Amino acid sequence: MKATIEYNSRKIVVNISNPLDISIPIDVSKENVNAWYVEDPKIFPEEIDGEKVKVSEGAVVNFNNIHFNPHSHITHTECVGHITEKVHSVNKNLKYYIFLAEVVTVAPESKGKDLVISAKQLKTALGNKKRDAIVIRTIPNLSDKKSMKYSNTNPPYLLEEAAIYLREKGIKHLLIDLPSVDKEKDDGKLLSHNAFWNTAGKLRMDATITEFIYVPNSVEDGEYLLNLMIAPFENDATPSKPVLYKIIK
């Protein structure tokens, strides 16, 4: 099924019957993705008067509690409130959900003991393209990204120069398949978060960072329409479900 969307005075045709979901869900039935030194998420039935509210145990409904941290356990979208003293809500600051996005594949480079994504790599990937969002897939791109235990593994990250480049390029929405755009242990500097949201100048309140995505290898690099769907939590970050649609013309 095709749909025509007018986006910034451009008519874009997409196949809405072929959504490309790039989110990682919470799934307690198997190994769940995890980071930042916290326990695994939990989904469990509420107990009322000592009885579990679960159909298989005699209740008329399933009535589960979910205990999780969006930064640790699931694809999530965050705003500048993640790193500011005042906790701004991503739900209040993300007011539009459809964007023109570029999917790029990057092989992080060695820098000392780290693996990093540089400004040069992103410049090469984006060139002169004008996009609102960038979706970064790192390689190797194995399916274990969906169940990786990232704590104390020093995963790849963006150099500050790369975040500055994206900000100056006009990228409003940064999506990446890593637990963070910053180094796991950087003495609290959070250089790329700060650079992308411009905390040294005028805050980019409507800019977002989405972490813990997974872009299947079957998804080719290139231009897509992105639907950045979020759960309505009044918090610095919230679970999200980014979906790509291939642009036909």
Dump pLDDT digits (tens) for 136-157: 999 999 999 999 999 999 999 9
pLDDT for 210:
98
The tokens for 55 are: 């159909």
Domains of the chain in start order, with CATH, are: 2-25+71-246 (3.50.30.50)
pLDDT for 1:
85
What band does 54 get if pLDDT is binned at 50, 70 and 90? Answer: very high
230-242 b/e (C-beta count within 10 Å ≥ 16 → b):
beeeebbbbbbbb
Q: Are 213 and 235 in contact (CB under 8 A)?
A: no
User: What are the tens digits of pLDDT across the range 15-47?
Assistant: 899 999 999 999 999 999 999 999 999 999 999
pLDDT tops 80 at residue 249: no
pLDDT tops 80 at residue 176: yes
pLDDT for 9:
85
pLDDT for 148:
96
Q: Which of 197, 221, 212, 236 is nearest to 149 (CA)?
A: 212
Q: Is 11 buried (19+), middle (13-18) or exposed (0-12) by CB count in 10 A?
A: exposed
